[in-house]
Amino acid sequence: MFLKNNFSIISSLLDNDFYKFTMQNAVIKLFPFAKAKYEFINRGNHSFPENFSKILKESLNKMSHLKLSKEERTYLEKYCPYLDSSYLDFLNQYQYNPKEVNIYQKGKNIKMDIEGLWSRTILWEVPLMAIISELYYKLAGIKRISDKKIVFLTKKKLKEYKKLKVKIGEYGTRRRYSYQVHKLVLKILIDEGAPFFVGSSNVHLSHIFSIKPIGTKGHEWIMFHGSKYGLNTADRIAMENWLNIYKGNLGIALSDTYTSSVFFKNFNEKLSNSFKGIRHDSGDPILFAKEAIKHYQKFKINPIKKEIIFSDNLNPYKVSYISSFCKEKINPFFGIGTNFTNDVGVPSMNMVIKMVESFPKKNWISVVKLSNVKEKSTGKKNMIFLARKILHL
């Protein structure tokens, strides 16, 4: 149970997924006064060690000292030109406020919620999950395989992906075994993955290795639009707002906030032409690919000129199966997370932190995510039922 007081899991403001910064920029510009609430969901029913919440709070308190360095700002200016100077000025002044996070422990169970201005609280989710994951393994004494074996496994998977000639990215920050493992794996991918490895979603590690970070937006962007504009049009308005901010950059549309069937109804001809592709994050990937191809063909758009980013719990077998179907039909890209950063001989954690309420105008409104599979849906049960009724699902 012992942990050194000087141990720091998050050492940079940029140790986060890229899409958190792109969304934060858009939130500041369009919804600067909006508020948000998030909750930790322990899907795997993990049992947390004694005093876990206390040590977790200590790690969060250390994050309050993180600030964007001059070198980090220069990196963002060079590699992420669509993040303008006004946003980078905001990020220069940004510091985490641990008072926005409430953590409770009862026995072996952890409860956690986050509340505050959306433009501030949006950055908490990913580093918090990375901290929870790393602390869990450390405090529970769950040992991983050796660095040598991790290197061997990573190279083996990389060899399979290169044989398939598929484009892959690393998306594994939130459920990584540890920062050290994440950095080790990413170095191998960068050193030996060309030309098929295209980047990491982690901005801090991308900065260390001088590569461009990858990612666009997450479900909360659309969930907020659902609370502000209504569920039926949320996908469309969220995409239109994204286009207005980024002018065609970061052009991947997220398809399963209110199920793919609702998404495709909103993904009109203009949006289908304007976005370079779509992301699949739940449900049968082959059925989704078929639906996407059919959708593009309806608007006389050649699917081979579009991308599908698959990001749902991938491994070499799934990638082989999906890429085989997509060949010469539509361009697949694979965002691989836990299978890269937590394939270390221990069970990976099953947890999420999701927006549960937003304050778009004058009052708090419960938000929901209606995934293509029930297990990945989030929100209050009565709100999920109501949302499905509204959307005729």
pLDDT in tens, the chain (393 residues): 444 444 579 999 999 999 999 999 999 999 999 999 999 999 999 999 999 999 999 999 999 999 999 999 999 999 999 999 999 999 999 999 999 999 999 999 999 999 999 999 999 999 999 999 999 999 999 999 999 999 999 999 999 999 999 999 999 999 999 999 999 999 999 999 999 999 999 999 999 999 999 999 999 999 999 999 999 999 999 999 999 999 989 999 999 999 999 999 999 999 999 999 999 999 999 999 999 999 999 999 999 999 999 999 999 999 999 999 999 999 999 999 999 999 999 999 999 999 999 998 889 999 999 999 988 889 999 999 999 999 998
CA-based nearest residue to 220, from 367, 102, 112: 367
Domains 18-143+347-390 and 147-214+231-341 agree in fold: yes
The pLDDT, as a whole number, for residue 8 is 76
The pLDDT, as a whole number, for residue 361 is 82
The pLDDT, as a whole number, for residue 2 is 43
The pLDDT, as a whole number, for residue 1 is 42
- 3 state DSSP class of 34: coil
Q: How is residue 138 written in tokens?
A: 């450390």
Question: In sequence order, what DSSP letters do the residues of 288-325 get, joined into one string?
Answer: HHHHHHHHHHHTT--GGGSEEEE-SS--HHHHHHHHHH
CA distance 369 to 361: 20
Give burial (CB, 10 Å; 0-12/13-18/19+) of 338. buried
The pLDDT, as a whole number, for residue 7 is 58
DSSP 348: P
Q: Where are the domains of the chain?
A: 18-143+347-390, 147-214+231-341
Going by CATH, does the domain composed of 147-214+231-341 fall within 3.20.140.10?
yes
HSE at residue 226, side-chain half, CA atoms within 13 A, is: 31
Q: What strands, in cross-sheet order, belong to the sheet with 365-366?
A: 101-106, 109-117, 35-41, 352-359, 365-366
The pLDDT, as a whole number, for residue 78 is 98
Reduced to 3 DSSP states, what percent helix, strand and coil does the chain have, rounded to the nearest 5? 50, 15, 35
Site of tokens 């098929």: 196
In DSSP terms, 17 is beta-bridged to 202
CA-based nearest residue to 38, from 384, 378, 391: 378
CA distance 182 to 274: 34
CB 248 within 8 A of CB 274: yes
The pLDDT, as a whole number, for residue 348 is 93
User: Spelled out in words, what is the top-level CATH class assigned to the domain 18-143+347-390?
Assistant: alpha beta
* Amino acid at the residue 121: T
CB 315 within 8 A of CB 339: yes
Give burial (CB, 10 Å; 0-12/13-18/19+) of 255. buried
* Amino acid at the residue 234: A
The pLDDT, as a whole number, for residue 81 is 95
